[in-house]
Amino acid sequence: MAKQKKSAEFDLSTILRAGDHVMWPQGTGEPTGLTGRLVQSAPELPPVTLVLGMVTTDTLRRIKGGQLDFLCLNGAAETRRAVAASSGRVIPAHVSTIPDLIASRRIPVDVALIRVRPVANSCMFSLGVMVDFVHEMMAAARVVVAEIDERMPLTGDDALIHADCITHLTVADGDEPVIVDPIPTENELAIADRVAALVPDRATIQLGVGGLPVAVCSALTGHKELGLHSGVIPDAAVDLIKYGIVTNAHKGLDVGQTVTGGLFGSRKLLNFAHENETITLRRATYTHAAGVMAQILNLHTINSAVEIDLSGQVNSEVAGARYVGAVGGQVDYVRGGRLSPGGRSIFAMSAATPDLKHSKIVSSLCGKPVTTARSDVDLVVTEFGVADLWGLDLHARARALIAIAHPDFRESLERDFAASLI
Q: Are both 47 and 190 inside the same structural domain?
A: no
Helical pair 211-219 and 186-198, crossing angle rounded to 10 deg:
50
Phi first, then psi: give them for residue 396, nearest 5 degrees: -65, -35
Q: What is the pLDDT of residues 246-296, one digit of tens each?
A: 999 999 999 999 999 999 999 999 999 999 999 999 999 999 999 999 999
178: in domain: no
142 shares a domain with 231? no
Spatial neighbors of 168 by CB under 8 A, at least 6 apart, are: 1, 2, 3, 4, 10, 15, 143, 144, 145, 146
In a domain, 177, yes or no: no
Same domain, 159 and 244: no
Q: Are residues 150 and 200 in the same domain?
A: no
In this structure, the answer to whether residues 200 and 166 fall within a common structural domain is no
On whether residue 180 sits in a domain, the answer given is no
Q: Which of 140, 171, 202 is the last residue of a domain?
A: 171
Residues 305 and 415 in one domain: yes
Q: What's residue 421's pLDDT?
A: 65
| The pLDDT value given to residue 3 | 52
Q: How far apart are CA 199 and CA 342, in angstroms?
A: 11
Q: Would you place residue 43 in the very low, low, confident or very high pLDDT band (cuts 50, 70, 90)?
A: very high
Domain boundary among 110, 144, 171: 171
Question: Does any domain span residue 92?
Answer: yes
The answer to whether residues 155 and 197 belong to one domain is no
pLDDT tier, 88 (very low <50, low <70, confident <90, very high otherwise) = confident
Structure confidence by residue, pLDDT tens digits, 302-348 = 999 999 999 999 999 999 889 999 999 999 999 999 999 999 999 99
Q: With contact defined as beta carbons under 8 Å apart, do 141 and 111 qualify? A: yes
Could you tell me if residue 332 is inside a domain?
yes
Which pLDDT does position 209 carry in this prediction?
86
Helix (H/G/I), strand (E/B), else coil: 365:
coil
Q: Are residues 324 and 383 located together in one domain of the fold?
A: yes
Cα separation of 111 and 12, whole Å? 10
Residues contacting residue 37 through CB under 8 Å, at least 6 positions apart: 7, 8, 10, 12
pLDDT at 299 > cutoff 60: yes
The full 3-state SS of 46-100, as one line of letters, equals CCEEEEECCECCCHHHHCCCCCEEEEECCCCECHHHHHHHCCCCECCCCHHHHHH
Q: 298 is in which domain, residue-wise?
A: 186-419
Q: In this structure, are 119 and 237 located in the same domain?
A: no
- For the stretch 12-21, pLDDT in tens is 999 999 999 9
Task: Say whether both 126 and 159 belong to one domain.
Answer: yes
| One domain for residues 190 and 163 | no
Whole-model pTM: value is: 0.96
Q: Is residue 176 in some structural domain?
A: no
Q: Is residue 181 part of a domain?
A: no
For residue 98, the domain's CATH number is 3.40.1080.10
User: Among 171, 195, 214, which residue terminates a domain?
Assistant: 171
Looking at the 3D structure of the chain, how many domains does it have? 2
Q: What are the DSSP E strand ranges found in 307-378? A: 307-309, 314-315, 318-319, 322-323, 344-348, 361-362
pLDDT at 103 > cutoff 80: yes
pLDDT tens digits for 158-175? 999 999 999 999 999 999
CATH of the domain at 306: 3.40.1080.20
| 136 and 197 fall within a common domain | no
